[in-house]
Amino acid sequence: MRKLRAGLLAGVLAGGTLAAMTFTGMASTSQAAPSGGALGAAPYLYFGWGSPPNPTTVMSASGVKAFTLAFILSNGTCNPQWDGSRSLTGSDKTKINSIRSAGGDVVPSFGGWSGNKLGESCSSASALAGAYQKVINAYSLKAIDIDIEATEFSTNSVQDRVLGALKTIKQNNSGLKVFVTMPVEQNGLESHGQRLVKQAVKLGVPVDVWSVMPFDFGGGSGNMATLTTNAVQAVHNQLKSYYSGKSDAQIYAMQGISSMNGKTDDSETVTLANFKTIQSWANQHHLGRLTFWSANRDRPCASGSDADSCGGISQKAWDFSKVVAGFTG
User: Any idea which residues carry the catalytic annotation?
Assistant: 149
Q: How far apart are CA 93 and CA 214, in angstroms?
A: 31
231 Rama class: left (phi>0) / alpha (psi -120 to 50) / beta? alpha
CA atoms lying within 13 Å on the CB side of residue 95: 24
Q: Across-strand partners of 328?
A: none
Q: Across-strand partners of 107?
A: 68
**Nearest C-alpha neighbor of 2 from the set 193, 282, 244:** 193
The count of residues in the chain is: 329
CA 48 to centroid of chain Cα atoms: 16
- Burial (CB < 10 A; 0-12, 13-18, 19+), residue 54, is exposed
Q: How far apart are CA 42 and CA 329, in angstroms?
A: 12
**Nearest C-alpha neighbor of 63 from the set 34, 38, 33, 29:** 29
